Amino acid sequence: MSNNYKNKILPLEELIEKVSDFKKKKKIVVQSHGIFDLIHPGLIAHLDSAKKQGDILIITVIRDRDVRRGPGRPIFPEKLRAENIASCAQVDYVAIVGDETPFECIAKINPDVFAKGKAYKDRDSLIHKKIFEEEKNLHLGQSKIYETPGFTFSSSEIIKNFLDIYPQDVQVFLSRFSKKYGFRKIVEAIEHLNKLKILIVGDGIIDEYHYCQTLGKSAKAQIIVNKYLTHEVFAGGVFAIANHMAGLCRNVHLVSLLGKESSRKDFILENIRPNVKVDFFTREDGPTITKKRYIDQYLNQKLFEINYLNDDYIHKDLEDKVLRYLANILSEADIVLVSDFGHGFITQKIIRLIEKASKKYAVNTQTNGANAGFNMVTKYRRPAYTCLDETELRLSAQDKHSAVEPIAIDIARAIHCDYLIVTRGRNGSVGIEKGKKINRTPAFSTKVVDTVGAGDAFFAFTAPCVAQGMPLDLISFIGNAVGALAVQIVGNKRSVEKHEFLEFIHTLLK
């Protein structure tokens, strides 16, 4: 095979210029967009049909880091996927593109025709309904949408049927689960969350990732010298939880604490989603909590962390203001989420008020380097839902070695919790209902970039499900699916979006 097909692969900006030139020459440009992981008969039929709709067929291939279709995807890296599709005779040009916002590249390229495969008709109508109906002009410009006809093959189906992405026990679980909860049933349940009124109370955190290059050991001291390269700043803690939930629920109200010194208020407001109502209280004796993590960029390993915070409890006068404010709004929410990082905002009086005045409340008490061993869930009583990781559970019980299930039952009974879920990383999750019924759900993650923020995403997606009255096994499945997506994101760089979550479970349950 000649290497001439590689000349078809262009940077996006260059491809946009070519499309503009073709249009000036009255050529009809057709675009198809996707992962293009495998070349199979259904794809060839799709390319044949798409090519007949115009003069020039261009393909945009989603880059690796934005592929969130399902477990083990992509099978092949972006360069190989682009070369494979470029080698097809029907294809004139190819570009590798970002897809954080689905189909954003189509608006930039503005083809005459956007060709989508029949295999995704049902999925798109459920997952991308908002994009294809309510915001068509924003995302697809004036492009005509053409659905290619013919028999359907799906790369996801082929990969799932012929490649052992998951161990046998996970495959058995998914087979059984899909018979009990079909994809459409889960979509309907998720859509109902939109009507809920959510109140979130807790510690907001600024997460900074400073990327470094290790140079070597200092000749004058026992330290490793690192060269600064670049950095990123994210809205973490309850800010991240609010952003995750804002994609599920229309009405999200956030109450948090800032510091007078280095408040970072403007940055926070710029990075909170528009449908989140925010109310901030300010402490005079400290900064807005900021956690700076220093990371070896090549190895993607955290070297060390510095926290900027005052973790003393807020003063009584500020506490009284918070209590008066919460007393007026707690009963309005369908569920109150308490995200307690143990950094001084959530006092005992605030806890007792939330317990007394909320219709339902959910709690996540986090263990971190600044509070290890001191921020236990056992200070709460009668939550509808508690979400912990295994370390947080074991610290609460002061039990390092026993099996997880009996510890979880003991803690659930001690705090009189309706639902308790313990996340266990690669070991999935264990759920306890009414202090006795046990539910086990395996992990669905196949690629881990960063575990920071995964627990926040899990809590944000599952707490509204509790408010909606979903059964524990469905809640746990939703949480583990969200967790599998969240660990592919660096820190709290962005939220797990509803559409990508639905795409993921669509693949899981096929």
Asked whether residue 363 falls in the same domain as residue 229, the answer is yes
pLDDT (tens digit per residue) in 417-427: 999 999 999 99
Q: Which of 150, 165, 180 is the C-terminal boundary of a domain?
A: 165
Judgement on whether residues 114 and 201 belong to the same structural domain of the protein: no
Q: What is the pLDDT along the chain (510 residues), one digit of tens a residue?
A: 446 778 899 999 999 999 999 999 999 999 999 888 878 777 888 899 899 999 999 999 999 888 876 666 787 888 999 999 999 999 999 999 988 776 788 888 889 999 887 655 545 555 655 444 444 444 555 678 888 875 455 555 555 544 456 788 888 999 999 999 989 999 999 999 999 999 999 999 999 999 999 998 888 888 889 999 999 999 999 999 999 999 999 999 999 999 998 899 999 999 999 999 999 999 999 999 999 999 998 888 889 999 999 999 999 999 999 999 999 999 999 999 999 999 999 999 999 999 999 999 999 998 888 887 889 999 999 999 999 999 999 999 999 999 999 999 999 999 999 999 999 999 999 999 999 999 999 999 877 778 888 999 999 999 999 999 999 999 999 999 999 999 888 888 888 888 889 888 988 887
pLDDT tens-place string over residues 64-76? 888 876 666 787 8
What total number of domains does the chain contain? 2
Tell me whether residue 170 is in a domain. Answer: no
φ and ψ of 310, to 5 deg: -115, 110
What CATH number is associated with residue 12? Answer: 3.40.50.620
Q: Report how far residue 387's alpha carbon sits from residue 63's, in angstroms, rounded to the nearest whole number.
A: 33
In a domain, 182, yes or no: no
Q: Are residues 150 and 198 in the same domain?
A: no
Range of the domain at 495: 188-508
Residues 68 and 211 in one domain: no
Alpha helices by DSSP H, listed for 287-398, are 316-329, 348-357, 390-397
Of 329, 325, 354, nearest to 339 (Cα)?
A: 354
CATH number at residue 386: 3.40.1190.20
Residue 183 is assigned to a structural domain of this protein:
no
DSSP state, 28? P
The β-bridge partners of 231 are 210
Q: Identify the sign of the CA torsion 305, 307, 313, 314.
A: negative
**End-to-end Cα, the chain, rounded Å:** 36
SS3 163: coil
Task: Outline where DSSP puts E strands in 112-181.
Answer: 113-117, 144-148
Place of tokens 């970002």: 98
Whether residue 158 is found in the same domain as residue 208: no
Residue 467 domain flag = yes
Q: Classify residue 176: in a domain, yes or no.
A: no
Cα separation, 462 vs 339, in Å, equals 13
Residues 389, 427, single domain; the answer is yes
Burial 441-477 (b: 16+ CB within 10 A, else e): bbbbbebeebebbbbbbbbbbbbbbbbbebbbbbbbb
The pLDDT value recorded for residue 163 is 47
pTM over 0.95: no
Residues 241 and 161 in one domain: no
Does one domain contain both 141 and 205?
A: no
Rounded distance between C-alpha atoms, residue 356 and residue 391, angstroms: 28
Dihedral sign, Cα of residue 155, residue 157, residue 160, residue 161: negative
Task: Note whether 367 and 248 are same-domain residues.
Answer: yes
Q: How much is the pLDDT for 131?
A: 47
- Based on the domain organization, do 319 and 462 belong to the same domain? yes
Same domain, 161 and 248: no
Does residue 14 fall inside a structural domain? yes
What pLDDT, on the 0 to 100 scale, is given for residue 1?
42
CA atoms 264, 270, 273, 279: torsion sign: positive
Is 180 part of a structural domain of the chain?
no
- Confirm whether 217 is domain-assigned: yes
CA distance 374 to 323: 23
**pLDDT value of residue 162:** 40
Q: 């083990």: which residue's tokens?
A: 72
One domain, residues 492 and 356: yes
